[in-house]
Amino acid sequence: MSGAFAGERVLVVGFGVAGRAAAEVLALEGAHVIVSEARPAHALEPLGEHLRRLGVELRAGGHRPEDLDGIDRVVVSPGVPPSTPLIVRARARGLPVDGELELGARLASAPILAVTGTNGKTTTTEMLASALRADGLDAVVCGNIGHPFPVAARAGHDVLVVECSSFQLAQQTSFHPRVSVLLNLAPDHLDWHGSFEAYARAKAAIAARQEGEDVHVGNRDDPEAAAISRRARCRTIWFTLEAPGPGEVGYVQDRLVARIDEERELASIADARPGLRADAAAAAAAALAFGASSEAIASALASYRPRPHRGEVVAVVEGVRFVDDSKATNVHASLAAIDAWPGAVLIAGGHAKGVDLAPLASRAGGLRAVIAVGAAADEIEAVFAGRLQVRRATSIEEAARLGFELASPEGVVLLAPACASWDQFTDYAERGERFAEAARGLDAEVRAGG
């Protein structure tokens, strides 16, 4: 059988979305594929049957040292930490250990535009792809956004717009975007990376192979991210929420303006939250770097609608707005949400991912009260103790009810947890949906006179 991996024996570690996609692509590219999964065998069905028909061997119930016997290459799913003993053994044996980005990079023939950052990746990736599509290109979003990069790489698109997580970037050596974007940088996923320095190195890898005519897009307003962007060995375009200087994209009042080569107005953006304004500027800079027209960028930004759980008002109960920003899974995102909704009752807590939540205290003056939830409730309570009223809730439903009781008239109950959801929910979406359901239930209860 021919293919990019013909004749190789490849071990795929992890049977999540990325692992399954990697196993399928590798099999189609001629490799003999073995999947090692920690979960028991029954957890692999019915999805495992499709892979077996492609000749993939599935090994469930734990990662064993003998899984590496006779293996030429290891492909690891993004959620599998590098400290996993099997991965440590693979590296000790000198085996190549690749991630989704490395696999996709070996298969991609279309130009790659890549986006990373602590927050705003999905929004920026979608805005950027929309601008390219408005200019007539077949641009597909893939990577951490949910559509596996290796699958997209084989599909013959004009452009691959790749959302890159720190997990993915930490496990690649040849990923080479034509245009890269670093949106921002703040501590996150420290339980996985081990330190902020390691997390920052992973993010910096997005531009590691860029040179010459490649373009890197950096954030002038974020000192940590800007320090990394200044090390890029290619042309750099900056975005900012302020008035842009030469070689920058930024804002003159509500007008998004580019001062690259020539000055041109790209869009009028009013009433957008600061995070969306930054994402729009970054997406516009990257689209311009790839050659998109001003008209296409303006059209894409005007029609863009954020995905759920990113600051949407999900219910209004007697004038109190309930805002679902469940995607605010780190301190950086939570601070931005608090700034966008002054005077809110904040619901925060969950799985902290090894990150210090103390910086949240800097926004105590902008909040009415805090409701602490989940595994990090003790830490949330300690952060705000003595600064404003803090209550505890054992469920998101109880938190919504307490928030309503504590909110000011015409006020806001804000779910911006600063933590992941894994302690109580499947993911941030389930957490947000439960919050929205609770808020709508309160509305129905109040309307019924209850």
> Is residue 271 scored above 60 in pLDDT?
no
CA atoms within a 13 Å half-sphere pointing along the CA-CB vector of 276: 18
Tokens describing residue 234: 């290619």
Tokens describing residue 211: 């040179």
Question: What's the full length of the chain, in residues?
Answer: 450
Q: What average pLDDT score do residues 80-95 get?
A: 93
Predicted TM-score (pTM) of this structure: 0.84
Tokens describing residue 127: 């805005």
What is the pLDDT at residue 449?
Answer: 77
Helix (H) or strand (E) holding 37: none
Report residue 261's pLDDT band, with 50, 70 and 90 as the boundaries: confident
Domain 9-98 is classified in which CATH homologous superfamily?
NAD(P)-binding Rossmann-like Domain (3.40.50.720)
| In contact, 168 and 148? CB cutoff 8 Å | no
Going across the sheet that includes 367-373, the strands are 312-317, 320-324, 412-415, 344-349, 367-373, 390-392
Give the pLDDT confidence of 140-160 residue by residue, as tens digits: 999 998 899 999 999 999 999
Alpha carbon distance 99, 309 (integer Å): 28
Beta-strand ranges (E) seen in 165-254 are 179-182, 212-219, 234-239, 248-252
Sign of the CA dihedral with 62 first, then 171, 68, and 107 last? positive
Buried b (16+ CB within 10 A) or exposed e, 264-275: eebbebeebbeb
- Which amino acid would we find at residue 215? V
First to last CA, the chain: 68
- Which amino acid would we find at residue 35? V
Give the pLDDT confidence of 39-80 residue by residue, as tens digits: 999 888 888 899 999 999 999 999 999 999 999 999 998 878
Give yes or no for a cis peptide into 150 (omega within 30° of 0).
no
> Max CA-CA distance within the chain?
70
Instruction: Please state, rounded to an integer, the average pLDDT across all residues of the chain.
Output: 93
Q: What average pLDDT score do residues 22-43 get?
A: 94
Give the residue extent of every domain in the chain.
Answer: 9-98, 101-303, 312-445
What is the pLDDT at residue 433?
Answer: 97
| In contact, 97 and 263? CB cutoff 8 Å | no
Place of tokens 């939250």: 273
Spatial neighbors of 66 by CB under 8 A, at least 6 apart, are none
Place of tokens 């029954």: 42
Do the domains 312-445 and 9-98 match in fold? no
Fold of 312-445: Protein-Tyrosine Phosphatase; Chain A (3.90.190)
Beta partners for residue 323, in sequence order: 313, 414
Give the pLDDT confidence of 208-242 residue by residue, as tens digits: 999 999 999 999 999 999 999 999 999 999 999 99
What is the pLDDT at residue 191?
Answer: 82
Report residue 188's pLDDT band, with 50, 70 and 90 as the boundaries: confident
Beta partners for residue 388, in sequence order: none
CATH match for 101-303 among 3.30.479.30, 3.40.50.2020, 1.10.10.10, 3.40.1190.10:
3.40.1190.10
Alpha carbon distance 368, 388 (integer Å): 7
Measuring CA to CA, how many Å separate 39 from each of 65, 74, 76, 157, 334? 16, 19, 15, 35, 33
